[in-house]
Amino acid sequence: MNPANRSRVVIATALIIALFLAAWFMLSPVTALLYLSTGLATAVIVLGLNIQWGYAGLFNAGILGFIALGGYAVMWVSVPPVPEAIAAGGAGLLSVIVKLAVTAICIWVLHLAAKRLPINLPVWLLRTLQVSIALAGYIWMKTEFVIAVEAIETADTLDQTMKGFIGGLGLPVLLGWAVGGVFAGIAAWFIGKVTLGLRSDYLAIATLGIAEIIRTFLKNADWLTRGTLTVSPIDWPVPTPREMNGMLESGLEINLKWLGISAEQTATAVGRGLFIAVSAIVLIILVLMMERALGSPWGRMMRAIRDNEDAAAAMGKNVVRRQLEVFVLGAILMGIGGAMLVSLNTLFDPSSYHPPRYTFLIWTMLIVGGSGNNLGAVFGALFIYMLWEMSEPIAQFLFFGGADMLTALIPGFEPPVDLASRASQMRVIVIGVALIATMRYAPKGVIPER
């Protein structure tokens, strides 16, 4: 570690601990643990963004899309299948998939043929052909798809909490975390193929749009995600607080009174503690891997590309290809983080993904923490997340105090009825100010890159 950074790291750690203790004593120990584990999962996402932005200078404004895909993946892997729905619409859906695959293969074969065979096909003709095949495939499968979806969404199930979608695979949830990374990575490969090479602003606009489309799809594809009905519960890789409760009742007694945790909260606290341990292990492994990558020749090459694309290209580096690698790698981490978040909340709610919370807050974390530096990314994630959560109770406190004071001072003053929801907006302002202030006064973040 750079000695100049050492004091900054100490101060940063102290800040996080102070916020954590504030949550512990002002709210409750269980809430503080919840914030810590959410912060750790978010740190994985920020680590992913750090690879894209800090290592390679790619401006991804579509973080939300990868997080949501990761969240969907963990739901899909861990939730059991819904046999009634599969019986109703599974065959139709399979046929739709086959038809889509046939269409895709046709387009791909055409692409290969134009490339390899010695026929000189004009590009516009090739594109027109491919687009018409795509359209034909769409019309070919559309009716069948609508019927299958209708059947799945209306199939009667024994378990009402699983009604309306096809369910998942019913496999261990840790596998789901990994699959979350895979899904996000595959999506990133396609997105990167199309959008990399654009100027930074354009890349931001393009990725922002793709994220919105992914979100819209997950929200509206009820047969796949249950849409606004949400899927719950999603499993934990460790015993959930409820299972913990059962274990404690059956003889495993733990006394956490000395930590200020009441007997009722013990099961929740132990469960959350175990989850934090698993998240921390995942995070540490990922940080170590990324540090290795950053120090390797590959990492040096990435930074060279970031600092001067033209010079790196002149040295014979394949810039767009390297950027694609880095974009996919970063997205994988975002997917894993998104899967961890859904798993932690035991709930997959596609309509909960809002850009301010899942894209721009992540950016603020990285900028404040210090981009290009993995330690800075982790610090930024924990610090900004806790600041984000803690600014709400503080604002509530100030607002209701202020409203009481004004009511007492000014006769006839009536505070607005939605004071609580207005106060919760304060945190958005706090984050915005933190972002701009960092950009202005400490552009390299709290823990700068070495």
Partner 1 sequence: MEYADLLNAGVYFINKGLLNAFKIGSIYALGAVGITLVFGILRFAHFAHGDMMTFGALIAFAGTVILRNLGINTEPIPTGLLALPLAVAATIILALIIDRHVYAHFRASKSPPVVFVMTSIGVTFILQGIIRLVGGTGDRQFFFTAVSNGESIREDKGRWLVKFDWLRDHFDGFTQKLVITMPQLWLFIFTAVALVGLHYFLNHTRTGKAMRAVSDNEDLARISGIDVGRVVKVTWVIAGTLAAIAGTLLAMDTQYKPILAFNLLLPMFAAAIMGGIGKPFGAVAGAFIVALAETFAVFDWRPIAGYLFADRFDMTASMALVPAEYKLAVPFAILVLVLIWRPTGIFKGQVL
Binding site for partner 1 (CB under 8 A): 59, 143, 146, 194-195, 198-202, 204-206, 208-210, 212-213, 216-217, 219-220, 355-356, 360, 363-364, 367, 416, 418, 421-422, 425-429, 431-433, 435-436, 439-440, 443
Q: Could you please report the per-residue DSSP string of 192-218?
A: HHHHTTS-HHHHHHHHHHHHHHHHHHH
If we measure between CA atoms, which residue out of 252, 271, 447, 291 comes closest to residue 368? 447
CA 239, 245, 249, 255 dihedral sign is positive
Q: How many CB atoms lie within 10 A of CB 125?
A: 10
Query: Which residue lies nearer to partner 1 by CB, 58 or 77?
Result: 58
Closer Cβ to partner 1, 199 or 257, answer by number: 199
Give min distance, CB of 157 to partner 1, in A.
25
Instruction: Kindly tell me which of 10 and 429 has the beta carbon lying closer to partner 1.
Output: 429
CB 147 within 8 A of CB 92: yes
Burial class of 168 by CB neighbour count within 10 A (0 to 12, 13 to 18, 19+):
buried
In a 3-state reduction of DSSP, which class is residue 231? strand
C-beta closer to partner 1: residue 53 or 348? 53
- Tell the smallest beta-carbon distance from residue 211 to partner 1 (Å): 10
Residue type, 440: R
Q: How far is the CB of 101 from partner 1 (least distance, A)?
A: 22
| Distance, CA of 408 to CA of 396 (rounded, Å) | 18
Residue whose CB is less far from partner 1, 38 or 438: 438
Distance of closest approach, residue 195 Cβ to partner 1, in angstroms: 7
Residue placing its CB nearer to partner 1 in the complex, 233 or 357: 357
Task: Give a three-class secondary structure readout of 391-440.
Answer: HHHHHHHHHHHHHHHHHHHCCCCCCCCCHHHHHCCHHHHHHHHHHHHHHH
Looking at beta carbons only, is 208 or 248 nearer to partner 1?
208
Closest CA to 393 of 12, 37, 22, 38: 22
Write the single-letter amino acid at 381: A
Three-state DSSP state, 62 = coil
- Contact predicate 70/404, CB 8 Å: no
Smallest gap from residue 433 Cβ to partner 1 (A): 6
Shortest Å distance, C-beta 354 to partner 1: 9
Q: How far is the CB of 160 from partner 1 (least distance, A)?
A: 25
Contact 449, 381 (CB under 8 A): no
Per-position DSSP letters for 127-180, written without gaps between them: HHHHHHHHHHHHHHHHHHHHHHHHHHHH---SSGGGTTS-B-----HHHHHHHH
How far apart are CB 217 and partner 1 at their closest, in Å?
8
When computed from its CA atoms, the radius of gyration of the chain, rounded to whole angstroms, is: 25
Task: Supply the minimum distance, in Å, between the C-beta of residue 28 and partner 1.
Answer: 26
- Decide whether 83 or 355 has the Cβ nearer to partner 1: 355
Please say whether the beta carbons of 376 and 447 come within 8 A.
Answer: yes
What is the distance, to the nearest Å, from the Cα of residue 198 to the centroid of all Cα atoms in its chain?
Answer: 23
Of 175 and 208, the one with the shorter C-beta distance to partner 1 is 208
Residue number with CB closer to partner 1 (68 or 286): 68
In which residue are the tokens 């939730």 written? 79
User: What is the closest distance, in whole angstroms, from the C-beta atom of residue 37 to partner 1 in the complex?
Assistant: 25
Query: Minimum distance from CB of 31 to partner 1 (Å)?
Result: 23
Which lies closer to partner 1 via its Cβ, residue 26 or residue 433? 433
